[in-house]
Amino acid sequence: MTISKIQLIPFKLEEISEELVDYIPYGIEMVNAPSFWQETKGEDVVVAVLDTGCDLSHPDLADRIIGGRNFTSSDRDDYSDSHFHGTHVAGTIAASSNGQGVIGIAPESKLLILKVLDENGSGSYEGIIDAIHYARTWRGPNQEKVRIISMSLGGPNDVPELHNAIKLAVKAGILIICAAGNEGDSSERTDETAYPGFYNEVVQVGAVDENKNLARFSNTNGEIDLVAPGVNILSTYPGSKTAKLSGTSMAAPHVSGAVALIINKTEKKYGRTLTEPEIYEYLRKNTVSIGLSRKAQGNGLLFLQVDKQKKKKRNE
């Protein structure tokens, strides 16, 4: 395979703060995660995050990390974040409910940190392919398996080896969630594509703002599966800090965390392991239309549906 590079999908760093306050970011509220926490917080569902690594000592993340590996250098055991993007993504998925800092969508899920991008946000296709294979075969200390792969990265090239790795992971029961890309031109009539998000086998996530308007940068195309908050998203940042970032890179981890909640709740209910197609179908059911075209919103905005009977009892 010809050696080539893949990079972080462009994003915008809006603000950095050294203040750690007990705070639920607006995106977590928008997708209705707090109502879901009465049933599950994603206990022990493992999400593999393929990104720039993670701040392993961040107080909101340290107890969520179950393991990791570095695919950008010979030091395989150093999967700390030499950038900041991966730490931010990880926090949206699983930042702990510990009374300080921010909280993630699935605050009791587990993170497998697979560093595939360096301090410049760049990595090789080979590294990402190897990381996907690693996630597929990884087993935790109690024989845990990866259930979700989250990738907020992309490139313009359709690489068959990458596609094949994704197909194998999906066949193994892993749901793969990818950012759509930020080449959008504010028009739903034009298509913008980035890989691996554009592959049919993955869940491709576009971005909306706090008012549920499609983010001007969000890619639109026929493979969009759903949209999630991706503008001014507050999450964890290296050095025990928080930061606000914007991009479809921030929308994808909202979905990754939500899927951890869906898996935990549904498998408890039915007492069996869901297949990848079943997980996707349950995700699709947890969306609502926001009035955009299919190429812009896919199935709609992520919105976690709380069991109506249980909700009625709580209100009685």
Residues with a catalytic annotation lie at 51, 85, 249
Contact between residue 42 and residue 94 where contact means Cβ atoms under 8 Å apart = yes
Asked whether the beta carbons of 82 and 120 are under 8 A apart, the reply is no
> In angstroms, rounded to a whole number, what is the distance separating the alpha carbons of residues 6 and 220?
20
Angle at 172 between CA 167 and CA 174, to 5 degrees: 80
